[in-house]
Amino acid sequence: MSSSSNFEASNLLEDNEWEEKIVEQNQQLDQLIEDIAIWPTTLSSKPTTQTVRARRRYIERKREEGHDTIFEQYFSEDPINPPHFFRTRYRMRKPLFEKIMNKLIETDNFFVQKRDATGRLGMSAIQKCTIAMRMLAYGAEADLRNIGE
């Protein structure tokens, strides 16, 4: 009987140890849950691991000056260049160009001058049509840097 009482005593010791370990682990879990629940409210600022987006560089394209130049050269009441210059450059007469430009503005929203996300005006309808007509006239890509010429 003594061996069975020793076995029961050792089982009681093991059970007590297990209970103590379980109580200790429960306390640790409770503390962890509290820390997780409280952590977001204790943050005073954004985490430092957040990346900062670099600002995009703005390239001044002088769109307004380009429009003014084209308008003064070919479309004003008293243009700088004579009518045959227009025909040589665009391979069509000015009234035909204007008719095509007006039809494009009516039918395709792309050719309407709009503001971009920063509020700056985009290219004018004359500039966009000039590029398109030069591409058609010469069968090649238009050089955007030469729009005002």
Please write the tens of the pLDDT for every residue from 49-80: 667 777 778 788 888 899 999 999 999 999 99
Domain-wise residue ranges, the chain: 1-41, 63-146
Predicted pLDDT of residue 58: 77
User: Which is it for the CA torsion 100, 104, 107, 113, positive or negative?
Assistant: negative
Please write the tens of the pLDDT for every residue from 106-141: 998 888 889 888 888 889 999 998 888 878 777 766
Please state, as a whole number, how many other Cβ atoms lie within 10 Å of the Cβ of residue 103: 11
Give the position of tokens 């076995």: 7
Predicted pLDDT of residue 39: 59
Please state, as a whole number, how many other Cβ atoms lie within 10 Å of the Cβ of residue 128: 20
Q: Is the pLDDT of residue 149 over 50?
A: no
The pTM of the full predicted model, rounded to 2 decimals, is: 0.53
Please write the tens of the pLDDT for every residue from 20-60: 888 888 888 777 777 776 655 555 555 566 677 777 787 88
Q: Which residues pair with 115 in a beta bridge?
A: 121
